[in-house]
Copies of this chain bind each other. A is one copy, B any other.
Amino acid sequence: MRSHYCGQLNSSHIDQEVELCGWVHRSRDHGGVIFIDLRDREGLVQVVYDPDLPEVFSAAEHVRNEFVLRVKGRVRARPEGTVNPDMPTGEVEVLGLELEVLNKADTPPFQLDEHEKASEEIRLRYRYIDLRRPEMQEKIRIRARTTQLLRRFLDDRGFLDIETPMLTKATPEGARDYLVPSRTHPGEFFALPQSPQLFKQLLMMSGMDRYYQIVRCFRDEDLRADRQPEFTQLDIETSFLDENEIMELNEEMIRQLYKEILDVDLPNPFPRMTYDEAMDRYGSDCPDLRVPLELVDLQDLMQEVEFKVFSGPAKDPHGRVAALHVPGGSSLSRKKIDGYTKFVGIYGAKGLAYIKVNELAKGRDGLQSPILKFLPDSAVDGILERTGAKDGDLIFFGADKTHVVNEALGALRVKVGEDLDLMEGAWRPLWVVDFPMFEWDDKHNRWNPLHHPFTSPKDDQIDLLESDPGKCKSRAYDMVVNGTELGGGSIRIHSGELQQKIFKLLEIGEEEAQEKFGFLLNALKYGCPPHGGLAFGLDRLVMLLTGSKSIRDVMAFPKTQSAACQLTSAPSEVSMTQLRELSIRVRKPQSEEAS
């Protein structure tokens, strides 16, 4: 139907006759001539209808926004003075010779140019209109280009794209599963996969050697801004490679991707940092290295001060006292600091002590702080020395359980960095390595795996599994870019005995282990190769690449925060017949039944 895309026309097409198909982006009558901006996937071009051609002119008079047109016309240079340098096709226009209305359109619920005035709910309900916006089209295109590049990189290196089941057994990732009732096995359920973890390990046991898949995963969790009930992973697994080889291969892939999509050179190699160092310096295992602020330990300085808020955590083996030094921060208003106090409260911090360094030369008088009176000179001197604070700076303090201090100051660090515009560099990737195998679960009084229970401990630390599990490090690695965890993985356990030892340590009883993972334990007996891999969050990766604020923007048909689809009104009620066939019935929460 068409000879060119609208957005492709330029001065090389002048005098050519072209056929275009697209949507009326806008139309206007200007001095008795009708100008239509015709839009397709590749962009806009101006089509001009002249009253000299009365028949098509009259047809053009009746088009409205979002009508679908087929246009035949001749490309010509725009008259002098009307060239539009902001438009890729702005040097030319098309003199319309024919016009066919392929479809009409009602007035859309919002104009594309004015989408910001529409609520997100309306834009999701009319997603097919919102997706017509050039910015949205660009995001979807970058997503398609991204998967294409990732696939080609892996194809070229002998990775096989292999599909794993969607209707499967409850997975061990620990989040809530989406369940699917089985009709042929009444009372039994499939689970939608939280990840293909066990299947990709089974593929290694099947001798597939190198596997990847771009695969949908499901988690029925309470949704945060950057979570969706279904999301997409680039899932990778390989045999006979160690963690260094896997990290090298994957950072090479991401480097090539950034080069192709954004023309950005990421560092080669990516810096690596241990988990312990990341927590000490940044209070986070996915530090945003663009923020040039670091946490400074004050533990030893605060052991003996009378100020219990500091000395308590300083003496607690599970506590931490740390400072965050903010150059130029003394200009922060009281109101701003109150805001930060509230902010760290989200992470459980009970307050936010600070010292403003007004004039060091004046000693204590040059400092301004509600807590100064509680601290002896030696502590104050130590703080100033360790942070290297100068006139005009500010120092925040955190003192609490270690995880509270880390989360609160870690988050504050990024927030202050953004607020004060301190960010350095556009893209700062790194690997975080040497994760602990386990974290202590206070609530259930047991060890939980920090990654998942198939992660291998470091070879030289297997003894610690018995003597001091909390100290045992794993062969896991996370790729972090600008404070976002893009992907993570590990070398897996390939020994059945070790796997059982880990299950035991996690207090997964033998029966439960058999019931849940029996097939894996079985498979480990029959010649499992050493293997490992990782998974990238594709939605987050594309979100970063496109500079989007939400993963909803990089999915064609996302769900709302209550896990519903505004467009199709899913989920919805189903018939009794369907439920009967599946051997289930609805049982609403009691509060609702009572009402």
Residues of A within 8 A of B (CB): 1-2, 21, 23, 39-41, 66-68, 70, 102-106, 108, 126-129, 131-132, 137, 140-141, 143-144, 147-148, 151, 155, 160-170, 176-192, 198-199, 202-203, 205-210, 216, 218, 220, 229-230, 232, 239-242, 494-495, 518-519, 523, 525-530, 555-557, 559, 562-565, 567-574, 578, 580-589, 592
Give 19 A-B pairs besides A128-B202, A166-B218 with Cβ atoms closer than 8 angstroms.
Answer: A21-B239, A21-B240, A21-B529, A68-B528, A103-B530, A105-B527, A131-B206, A137-B208, A147-B161, A148-B155, A163-B232, A168-B565, A169-B570, A189-B572, A191-B570, A202-B567, A583-B588, A583-B589, A584-B587
B68 and A529 form a contact (CB under 8 A)? yes
**Is A140 a contact partner of B166 (Cβ separation < 8 A)?**
no
A151-B148, A584-B584 known; A527+B167 contact, CB < 8 A:
no
Known: A167-B230, A180-B192, A519-B568. A526 touches B586 (CB 8 A): no
Contacts of A240 in B (CB 8 A): 1-2, 21, 70
Copies in the complex: 2
Residues in B with CB closer than 8 Å to A129 are 206, 526
Contact of B565 with A165 in the complex, beta carbons under 8 Å = yes
Cα A189 to Cα B179 with chains together (Å): 11
Task: Give the shortest distance, in Å, between A207 (CB) and chain B (any CB).
Answer: 4
CB distance from A290 to the nearest CB of B (A): 30
Chain B, Cβ-Cβ closest to A557: B165
Which single member of B41, B161, B519, B565 contacts A208 (CB below 8 Å)?
B41
B residues near A41, Cβ cutoff 8 Å: 207-210
Chain B, Cβ-Cβ closest to A223: B184
| 27 contacting pairs across A/B (C-beta < 8 A) | A40-B207, A40-B209, A68-B528, A103-B530, A108-B526, A128-B206, A131-B207, A131-B208, A137-B208, A143-B162, A151-B151, A163-B555, A164-B556, A166-B216, A169-B572, A170-B574, A178-B180, A180-B180, A182-B564, A184-B563, A186-B588, A187-B573, A189-B574, A206-B556, A216-B216, A519-B567, A584-B584
Beta-carbon contact of A140 and B169 below 8 Å: no
- Which of B176, B526, B581 is in CB contact (< 8 Å) with A183? B176
Q: A571 and B163: CB pair below 8 A?
A: no
Closest to A170 in B: B574
Report yes or no: B188 in contact with A571, Cβ–Cβ below 8 A: yes
Closest chain B residue, CB of each to CB of A148? B155
Complexed CA–CA distance, A559 and B185 (Å): 13
Q: A185-B571, A202-B567 are in contact. Are A163 and B216 (CB under 8 A)?
A: yes
Q: Are A187 and B106 in contact (CB under 8 A)?
A: no
Complex-state Cα separation, A181 to B177, whole angstroms: 11
Residue pair A190, B571 in contact (C-beta under 8 Å)? yes
- Bound complex: CA of A70 vs CA of B527, how far in Å? 13
CB distance from A244 to the nearest CB of B (A): 12
B21 pairs with A569, CB closer than 8 A: no
Task: Give chain B residues whose Cβ lies under 8 Å from the Cβ of A586.
Answer: 186-187, 583-584
Q: Report yes or no: A202 in contact with B127, Cβ–Cβ below 8 A.
A: yes
Closest to A528 in B: B103
Q: Which chain B positions have C-beta within 8 A of A587?
A: 580, 583-585
Contact of A571 among B2, B182, B526, B557 (CB under 8 A): B182
CB distance from A37 to the nearest CB of B (A): 14
Asked if A167 contacts B585 (CB within 8 A), the reply is no
Given A563-B182, A587-B585, answer yes or no on A144-B170 (Cβ-Cβ < 8 Å). Answer: no
Which of A103, A140, A563 neighbours the largest number of chain B CB atoms within 10 Å of its CB?
Answer: A103
Report the bound CA distance from A240 to B6 in whole Å.
Answer: 13
Min CB distance A551 to B, Å, is 12
What residues of B have a CB within 8 angstroms of the CB of A529 in the complex?
21, 23, 68, 102-103
How long is the Cα–Cα vector from A162 to B403 in the complex, in angstroms?
Answer: 40
Q: Are B585 and A527 in contact (CB under 8 A)?
A: no
Quick check: B186 and A589 within 8 Å, CB to CB?
A: yes
Residues of B within 8 A of A199 (CB): 556-557
Point out the residue from B169, B239, B555 that lies within 8 Å of A568, measured CB to CB: B169
CA distance A105 to B208 in the complex (A): 17
Contact (Cβ within 8 A) A570 B202: no
Instruction: Give the contacting residue for A141; candidates B160, B230, B555; CB below 8 A.
Output: B160
- Please name the residue on chain B nearest to A220 by beta carbon: B183
CB < 8 Å neighbour of A167 from B126, B555, B559 = B559
Question: Is A525 in contact with B179, judged by CB distance below 8 angstroms?
Answer: no
A180 to B183, CA, bound (A): 12
Chain B residues near A526 (CB-CB < 8 A): 66, 105-106, 108, 126, 128-129
Q: Which of B186, B523, B530, B571 contacts A128 (CB 8 A)?
A: B523
A101 to chain B, nearest CB (A): 10
* Nearest neighbor of A209 in chain B, beta-carbon distance: B41
- Closest-by-CB residue of B relative to A23 is B527
Q: Which residues of B contact A495 (CB under 8 A)?
A: 103
| Closest A-B pairs by Cβ, 9 of them | A105-B527, A131-B206, A188-B571, A66-B527, A182-B571, A169-B570, A169-B568, A41-B209, A128-B205
